[in-house]
Structure 1
Amino acid sequence: MYVFLPSTIPGLAGVLDTGRADGTTAFAADPGPDGDAEEAEYEAMYAAADASLDLLAADPDAPRRRVVLAAVMPDHVVERRGGAGPHVVRVSVTEPVPYKKLASAHVDDEAAADDIAAGAAEDHELLWFAVQELRHLVGDA
């Protein structure tokens, strides 16, 4: 199952240092029987991006860039915690998410920082990054 984990640039640096991410708060797609799975995943990713804003509010020194980590985890370690939107469910991953389970990262570009600080994050699309590029994101911050 794809899960989307909210994070920050310092959080991403921690994942690279430890080799794992915390999945206490995560989001997953729930398209329903007639829904579009791809659209539901997009909505789940942006639910995680909204949660990333909360992490940024708690860390005023972090670069103002939302970070979402996408991971593929076995269903048996993902627990549903409740709805988070029409096609999104809030989940918890019951064990640390290993780096090798990360599929991608989705991050604001540097130009988004001013808008994020002004509360206009929704004006920006997240950029897709391959797992191999994550070290560069931390180094650029």
Structure 2
Amino acid sequence: MPFPLQDQEAQLTPVEELRQQIAEIKAAQATLDRNGTQYIVMMGDVAFKFVMQEKIATQASAVAAQWATRFTESDAKMIARAIKNAKGETAQAMPLAAALNMALAKKNLSLQRLEQAISVIQWLPAVRCDSASE
């Protein structure tokens, strides 16, 4: 039997899903260390969550910025230097606040575009399918 939250998430419209993601990012921003000492490891737009064993990152998976593992600046830079993609590009240590701002801006833009597209569709004239006229 699926968890109620999973069932609820499956029923979200794209607009509701974007609004939920925006709310999650804003909640993460509200919990930020005000000294700006939290960093995450990113490659392009992709943030990473790490499995840590004895203070060593042993496994990484791509996640949204608000779910990424948080490090001090020096630790994030050290881990980032060790991660390269197939093109040989190295990951970057990024302040969590900046990553969240970037993610929030992208989600807001996506939501705005989606809402505009919906608005245009709603204003389009209704198409009648009249099979008798053929």
TM-score (norm: length of structure 1): 0.25
Q: Which has the higher contact order (CA 8 A, sep 6+)?
A: 1
- Greater helix proportion: 2
- Greater strand proportion: 1
TM-score (norm: length of structure 2): 0.25
